[in-house]
Amino acid sequence: MSKSPRKIIVGLSGASGAIYGRRLVDVLDRCGCEVHLIVTEPARGIVAAELGVEPLSVASLLGRQSQRVKLHDNDDLYNSIASGSCLADGMAICPCSSHSVAALAAGLADTLLLRSAYVTLKQRRPLVVVHREMPLTEIDIENMGRLTRAGGIVCPASPPFYMQPKTIDDLVDTVVARVLDLLGVEHDLKMRWRP
């Protein structure tokens, strides 16, 4: 596996599962990555409801300060991460709502989250979409197929049980470890088979 990427964009959109996004940002930060965080307005409400984090800031989300994590306004389309000239190493939307999957599949780019994802696809960088809604409609399945054909990686938040998780945090780490692997980020989460 290559050296840990220097710059990762992380989006949280309006689906349940904010705990996945928080843990992903936490581990990326601890791995020394520069993290550019975008939280949609619906996701802010979910972060407040599920994690008790309000108002949202890097410190309130992680429970500590970090110089490597930057929180961006989803309405800021003039942000550098909305441009292909910004050399991000990849992006994850974790969790990702069906609404965001549909917007990505349609090529919409009218928010910073969607524009950053669109740029990630067009620059042929890894875009990992952690869909967290169920059950799926035929529309969801078609949108995921379209997104996959465009180069995205749909990675549903489906934690495996073969690692015999003991806690909710263990279950969360199985999903986060998979996302980190797909982004090519080296980590020490013990949630995969090792030779």
Identify whether 160 is part of a domain. yes
Residue 98: exposure state from Cβ atoms within 10 A (0-12, 13-18, ≥19)? buried
- pLDDT recorded at residue 192: 66
120 located within any domain: yes
How many Cα atoms occupy the beta-carbon half-sphere of 12 within 13 Å? Answer: 27
In this prediction the pTM is: 0.95
- Residue 65 structural domain: 7-183
146 SS3 class: helix
Cα–Cα nearest to 176, from 74, 2, 3, 30: 30
- Number of structural domains (the chain) is 1
Q: Is residue 35 part of a domain?
A: yes
Identify whether 55 is preceded by a cis peptide bond (ω within 30 of 0): yes
Count Cβ atoms below 10 Å from residue 80 Cβ, excluding itself: 12
pLDDT in the model for residue 195: 57
Query: What is the arithmetic mean of pLDDT over 97-122?
Result: 98
CATH number of the structural domain spanning residue 112: 3.40.50.1950
Assigned domain for 78 exists: yes
Q: What is the pLDDT of residue 65?
A: 97
Q: What is the pLDDT of residue 1?
A: 46
